[in-house]
């Protein structure tokens, strides 16, 4: 009996979300780099600590630019952009998901950061810059 009521509440919540125009579009940013990063997306800045994950949900359909700012974890090294740290994401369906993985290599003189962006979109909606 309780399961039926719970299912009815969940169904009503889903229906209200659809009527309000909310979508299931989502971006997940995971930072496995040595330093913290800041993910800039839709006029918001999201701090993603080293080893952390940030999820951004209910994103309207459209094409949005993104960029990252990188904190260098140790002084005395130079920064190198390994690519994929800025670009565009195109949300074309009501349930598009993007996953951005930030990683790094730190040697004695250079800190190189890489971004790997993937999507559930079946069309080419991902671009990146170096």
Q: What is the pLDDT of residue 74?
A: 84
- Please identify every stretch of the chain with a pLDDT value under 70, giving residue numbers as ranges: 1-23, 122-130
Residue 46 exposed, middle or buried by CB count within 10 Å (0-12, 13-18, 19+): middle
CB atoms within 10 A of CB 43: 6
**CATH number, domain 24-129:** 2.60.40
Q: What is the pLDDT of residue 81?
A: 83
Q: What is the pLDDT of residue 75?
A: 84
Cα–Cα nearest to 95, from 59, 56, 53: 59
Q: What is the pLDDT of residue 22?
A: 52
Q: What is the pLDDT of residue 42?
A: 96
Q: What is the pLDDT of residue 93?
A: 82
Extents of the domains making up the chain: 24-129
Helix, strand, coil share of the chain (percent; to 5): 15, 50, 35
Q: What is the pLDDT of residue 12?
A: 43
């Amino acid at each position: 009996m309780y399961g039926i009521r719970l299912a009815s509440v969940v169904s009503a919540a889903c229906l209200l979300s659809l009527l309000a125009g909310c979508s299931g579009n989502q971006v997940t940013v995971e930072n496995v780099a040595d330093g913290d990063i800041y993910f800039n997306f839709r006029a918001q800045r999201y701090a993603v600590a080293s080893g952390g994950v940030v999820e951004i949900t209910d994103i309207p359909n459209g094409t949005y630019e993104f960029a990252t700012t990188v904190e260098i974890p140790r002084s005395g090294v130079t920064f190198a952009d390994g690519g994929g740290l800025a670009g565009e994401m195109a949300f074309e369906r009501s349930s598009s998901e993007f996953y951005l993985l930030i990683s790094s290599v730190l040697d004695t003189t250079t800190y190189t950061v890489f971004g790997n962006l993937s999507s559930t979109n079946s069309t080419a909606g991902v671009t990146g810059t170096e």
